Amino acid sequence: MFSRSDFNIWSVLKNCIGKELSKITMPVVFNEPLSFLQRMTEYMEYAKLLRIASEQADPVERLKYVSAFAVSALASNWERLGKPFNPLLGETYELTRPEFRIICEQVSHHPPISAFHADSESFSFHGSIHPKLKFWGKSVEIQPKGTVTVEFPKLGEAYSWCNVNCCVHNIIVGKLWIEQYGVMDVVSHKNGLKATLNFKTAGVGNKDLHRVEGYISDRNKRKTHFLYGKWTEFIKCTDYVSYEEYCKENGYKFKRADERSKSPNESPGTTPRKVLSKLNSLKMSSFKSLSISEPDDPPEPAEGDIPKSDSTYSIDIPNSVTLWEAEARPGNTAEYYQFTNFAMSLNQMEDHMKQPRALCPTDSRLRPDIRKLEQGDMDGAAAEKTRLEEKQRENRKKSKKGDDGGLFPRWFKHTINPHTKQEDWIYQGGYWERTDDSFELDIF
């Protein structure tokens, strides 16, 4: 990856406070060489958890592993500071692995909406994401609007949830770091079961950095199991009685030291007016560090640091079972956008894809701007990114005139999700059986 240390980020962001970053053209230096469709595919890194869930006879056991899968989908976000490329309307991405196959499509450009459908012999997993990004002076907040659904067709069961928010800290001062926060409810629509997971903010002393805690409740809202761990590392589960017994002697591990800290549902946009006024007066900046202190300012020694978890508060409750553990990243991950092994494979042109018409012509692997960035050609990537954005604008003009034949979206339909009863983008089928002989799609 390229060094961003000398790039003038403030020249881009100073006019973005409180705005959606999806509407701001960002320099390619901020990107990682993946499309958002590929980034969304990283949901599936631990797809084996869904297979394990489908093999459980007890619905509570199934919910445990579905909940672990929901948390595992966020693990690859840690230290991933590059922005994925915005998909073009009609762009697709496919991936086949032993545990699943998945097809993604960019179904809307304004607002940007990405839909996906993964399936296997034992499950299907689908949803649509409408990411919203906002800059709040010292941080960027990513809100992954949308609902995702897991189905076990042979069991006639479905589960759904919404992902929590993500915040990138120290945008202006210090080293960047990522925090996931909010409440995630994983609902079993058939059995009336629910897992409520609280992704905690770091808190004073970083006691709760990366911490996830929650419980499973039955249809009578009785808590039966306790879930806990870190979204970067692992998730464990124990019965609620064991948790309560553990709390009697270790209650301090579960109480927040900073009761005055913001609620997970609060916007990080609580940047003091004094700080904003100082930011607005800045002319130049560095990506890694930028001093905004004034002589009369009180010292803030923690400002700009990357927090480290305090091992004093490690939790290991008796009778716990480990549901999921994150795989170690490659040793050179810091040189390659902090990618996991799974992420590193997503741009690979496999041999069978090189055959004529084997790969859909709208697949993200064929995007020249992403490929050039991956190859280290920054100027070429920037030029191609600009060209593709201009071409998309021309295609939109044709679409308004009806000249595109109504091609997009091609694989998903905007309708009602039968399980959540909410609007969603549902896979129509046909992608894996396509021939592409009827017409050529030219978006790249």
* pLDDT tens digits, 58-110: 999 999 999 999 999 999 999 998 889 999 999 999 999 999 999 999 999 88
Q: How far apart are CA 338 and CA 329, in angstroms?
A: 8
Does a structural domain hold residue 433? no
Integer angstrom CA distances of residue 69 from 180, 236, 286, 372: 16, 12, 38, 33
- Judge whether 186 and 163 are in contact, CB under 8 Å: no
* Residue 276 reports pLDDT greater than 50: no
Q: What is the pLDDT of residues 220-246, one digit of tens each?
A: 999 999 999 999 999 999 999 999 999
Q: How far apart are CA 10 and CA 17, in angstroms?
A: 11
* CA 75 from centroid of its chain's CA atoms: 9
The mean pLDDT of 244-269, rounded to a whole number, is 63
- Judge whether 439 and 405 are in contact, CB under 8 Å: yes
State the Rg of the chain over Cα. Answer: 23
Q: Give the phi and the psi of residue 81 in degrees, each rounded to 5.
A: -100, -5
- What is the average pLDDT value for the chain, to the nearest integer? 83
231: exposed, middle or buried (C-beta count within 10 Å: 0-12, 13-18, 19+)?
buried
Going by pLDDT thresholds of 50, 70 and 90, the confidence category of residue 33 is very high
Which neighbouring-strand residues pair with 147?
162
Reduced to 3 states (helix: H, G, I; strand: E, B; else coil), residue 32 is strand
Q: How far apart are CA 387 and CA 367, in angstroms?
A: 11
C-alpha neighbours within 13 Å on the C-beta side of residue 209:
15
* Residue 45 reports pLDDT greater than 80: yes
Phi-psi region of 291 (alpha: psi -120 to 50; beta: other; left: phi over 0): beta
* Closest to 37 (Cα-Cα) out of 102, 120, 119: 102
C-alpha neighbours within 13 Å on the C-beta side of residue 405:
8
User: Which CATH number do you get for residue 181?
Assistant: 2.40.160.120
Does a structural domain hold residue 319? yes
* Residue 338 reports pLDDT greater than 90: yes
* Closest to 426 (Cα-Cα) out of 437, 414, 409: 414
**Which of 2-11, 204-213, 366-375 shows the lowest per-residue confidence on average (mean pLDDT)?**
2-11
Integer angstrom CA distances of residue 398 from 18, 173, 360: 32, 44, 22
Q: What percent of the chain has pLDDT over 90?
A: 59
* Closest to 14 (Cα-Cα) out of 2, 24, 22: 24
Tokens of 213: 């805690």
Q: How far apart are CA 193 and CA 219, in angstroms?
A: 6
Reduced to 3 states (helix: H, G, I; strand: E, B; else coil), residue 382 is helix
Going by pLDDT thresholds of 50, 70 and 90, the confidence category of residue 131 is confident
**Which of 137-146, 152-161, 192-201 shows the lowest per-residue confidence on average (mean pLDDT)?**
137-146
Pairing of the two strands 31-35 and 83-85 = parallel
Does a structural domain hold residue 39? yes
- For residue 246, the model assigns a pLDDT of 94
Domain range enclosing 402:
4-254+305-427
Rounded (5°) CA angle 25-36-5? 55
The mean pLDDT of 392-401, rounded to a whole number, is 77
- For residue 300, the model assigns a pLDDT of 32
Cβ atoms within 10 Å, residue 269: 15
C-alpha neighbours within 13 Å on the C-beta side of residue 109:
13
DSSP state of 26: -
Does a structural domain hold residue 293? no
276: exposed, middle or buried (C-beta count within 10 Å: 0-12, 13-18, 19+)?
middle
* Closest to 316 (Cα-Cα) out of 369, 411, 242: 242
Number of structural domains (the chain) is 1
* Closest to 93 (Cα-Cα) out of 40, 48, 145, 170: 40
Does a structural domain hold residue 267? no
Q: How far apart are CA 136 and CA 175, in angstroms?
A: 16
Does a structural domain hold residue 276? no
- For residue 293, the model assigns a pLDDT of 28
Does a structural domain hold residue 262? no
DSSP state of 163: P
Q: What is the pLDDT of residues 410-426, one digit of tens each?
A: 999 999 999 999 999 99
Integer angstrom CA distances of residue 123 from 75, 99, 158, 175, 316: 21, 10, 10, 40, 31
Positive/negative CA dihedral, 316, 322, 323, 324 = positive
Q: 202-206, 284-288, 350-354: which has the highest mean pLDDT?
A: 350-354
pTM above 0.75, yes or no: yes
Does a structural domain hold residue 348? yes
To the nearest 10°, the Cα dihedral for 238, 243, 246, 247?
Answer: 150
Which neighbouring-strand residues pair with 186?
195
